[in-house]
Amino acid sequence: MIYADKIRERCAVFGVSIDGTYAAEITYNALLTLQHRGQEGAGIAVINDKTIDCKKDAGLVTEIFSNGALNKMQSGIAVGHCLCSSSSEVDDIQPAVTEYLTGRIAAVLNGRIANVRTLREELMTYGLSFAGTSDGEVLSKFLAYHCMITEDVLEGVKQAAGLLEGSFSLIVMSTGKENNKLIAVRDASGFRPLCIGVNAHGTAVASESCALDVCGFGFSRNIEPGEVVQIEDGRITYEQVVLTRKTKNTGLCVFEYVYLARPDSFMDNLSVYEARVNMGRILAQENKDKIEADIICGVPDSGMESALGYSLETGIPLVPGFMRNRYIGRSYIYPTRSMRENAVKLKLNPLKLNVENKRIILVDDSIVRGTSTAHVVRELKNVGVREVHMLVSSPPRKYSCRFGCTDEEKEEDLLANRMSLEAIREKIGADSLNYISIEGLKRACQKCALPQCLQCFING
């Protein structure tokens, strides 16, 4: 679910190269599909006669590209981005476009560059200035610098990417003396997802496979950790693993399966939907002898599949517990706590007829700070629920992410870092509280082609 105390750091990237002139329209549809990964801003850049035209702004995709804006962006190659960030300044919204002596690039980034401050300071010694504060702008200029000194876009991107630290999926669109091209890169540990799709007209790269499906590209494969892929004239012309892993952790951030991704996406050979149903089944195996309940309810949206899994495993009926208002903006953008709490209430309203006088198992994906969870439990009890047994489909999150995959919270702000299980239960007002085990989460995701990074649970 999307709340003030949920994980926010996630963005979407998309790139396409086709033999027509409607790349911007395809990218628009892709960004609509990936809007769940970022609702604070969006942008699309296209190549137009060796120049790059870019439109970006704060807000939703439909708001930014209204009134025929795409009609002015006819091209066969495009990149796009959805932003999820605490900043919605236009200069921090991507794509980030940089012009250098022999060409131009537009870069879109999903992730965080851990050594971005060092890169920024290095570029400033060369006389470069910055309009915003985003990793994307620094990265675009860093890439352009290396493209210039190597005199080759592919080599420049490979060289620059090899110097990056953190978690990232990156798409670069370039024009200049060389042919127009897209270059896609996934970090060497595979923290962030990235996949390729093809059809009769060209090739696309996306954060999630659901965008490829919607835009008519057949899923081809995932980009491997550390791999660089180049696309020219709609065809893949280079693909090779070139980056070296710099940390002992490797594998996809497990929160993609827990919360971040859309259920209809496949990531590294595992269906997100299947992973979440598995989490629910394993929650049931670990807890069914501890809890007596009449019904199971999932917290919309990402608690729903795990609730289904629990119901399938136990036979306890799965019942809708809430009506969700899908026209309310993200609650954490409101300036005061009372406004944020009211926004939460507007977003989810209990279905009293279904839950009144019932003992319910309530399944959610995570508890970070606990504020919204406490509100949901309180609202259920206000409409007459007898007991609320809270089950969470991820383990207690105790540590800040060192790799930039999730928010940069202070560890003392993470409820599980400073409270016992019983103290958390008391704070949120539930009658019982249990989390999936780390081994259980691993089992739920065992079909994934990569290991999963679990550092925020075990700090290993």
> Region 141-169: what's the mean pLDDT?
95
End-to-end CA distance of the chain: 27
Please report which confidence band the pLDDT of residue 243 belongs to, taking 50, 70 and 90 as the band edges: very high
Question: Looking at the predicted structure, is the pLDDT value of residue 5 above 70?
Answer: no
Q: Is position 11 annotated as part of the catalytic site?
A: yes
Question: Looking at the predicted structure, is the pLDDT value of residue 266 above 70?
Answer: yes
Instruction: Say what percent of the chain tops pLDDT 70.
Output: 90
What is the sign of the dihedral through the CA atoms of 146, 405, 120 and 79? Answer: positive
Please report which confidence band the pLDDT of residue 87 belongs to, taking 50, 70 and 90 as the band edges: low
Catalytic residue of the set 11, 82, 195, 448 = 11
Secondary structure (3-state) at 49 = coil
DSSP-assigned letter for residue 22: B
Q: Which of 194, 187, 193 is nearest to 246 (CA)?
A: 187
Q: Looking at 88-102, 242-256, 333-347, which range is the least confident one?
A: 333-347
Question: Looking at the predicted structure, is the pLDDT value of residue 4 above 70?
Answer: no
Question: Looking at the predicted structure, is the pLDDT value of residue 6 above 60?
Answer: no
CB 287 within 8 Å of CB 437: no
Domains in the chain, please, with CATH?
A: 12-247 (3.60.20.10), 266-458 (3.40.50.2020)
pTM over 0.85: yes
Give the DSSP H/E element, type plus range, for residue 280: helix 272-287
> Region 384-404: what's the mean pLDDT?
90
Please report which confidence band the pLDDT of residue 342 belongs to, taking 50, 70 and 90 as the band edges: low
**And the tokens for 253?**
């951030």
> Region 352-380: what's the mean pLDDT?
93
Mean pLDDT score across all residues of the chain: 90
pLDDT at 402: 75
Tell me which long-range contacts 307-310 makes (C-beta under 8 A, separation of at least 24): 307/280, 307/361, 307/363, 308/277, 308/280, 309/276, 309/277, 309/278, 309/279, 309/280, 309/281, 309/282, 309/283, 309/284, 310/280, 310/281, 310/283, 310/284, 310/361, 310/363, 310/391
**ω into residue 95 within 30 of 0, thus cis?**
yes
